[in-house]
Amino acid sequence: MVARAPSARGSEVVSQFVERFAAVLTESGFPRMPARLFAALLASDSGTMTASELAGLLRISPAAISGAVRYLTQVNLVSREPEPGSRRERYRVHNDVWYEAMARRDRVLSRCEQSLRDGIELLGRNTGAGARMAETLAFFEFIQAELHSLLDRWRERKRHLNFAGGGAVRTVKRR
């Protein structure tokens, strides 16, 4: 729980971060409770917590934890692991969670593309709906092609960064 945090930062600091980051995720369309749970795991040094540790940190019920974990495991942002010697589970957020989430978008985009192709054929390319679907399809195809290149560039960049001890934290200028 909070005892895992170095003494230099207290539970109040962790809680403030969790709530601020969860609010950003929620504003982006993420459900509120899964956003809070994800932010809590992200803010833990180990990246793992039990349901009781999460309940204590977030001041929520075990039922709320269960629903949030179910959502987060379905979208592959969190995994469940048995706690050795116990019937309890630990919930883990992996260091490369965003990379993996983006890599999985490839499969989702492929399914969307096929569905859009079917829709264009059914509704006709020369209809308003068909034209919108064709533009959406072209956009998804573009994103999918760029995603592969983007993920490759990230892997290369990551090889040169040191994330231990916060060494890679810096402000990135936006274009």
Total length of the chain: 175
- Asked if residue 106 lies in contact with residue 147, where contact means CB atoms within 8 angstroms, the answer is yes
Give the model confidence (pLDDT) of 10-23 as tens digits. 788 889 999 999 99
pTM for the full predicted model: 0.72
As a CATH number, domain 2-92 is: 1.10.10.10
Give the model confidence (pLDDT) of 66-109 as tens digits. 999 999 998 889 999 998 888 889 999 988 888 887 777 778 88
**The tokens of 170 are what?**
């810096």
CA gap 95, 46 in Å, rounded:
10
Structural domain boundaries of the chain? 2-92, 97-163
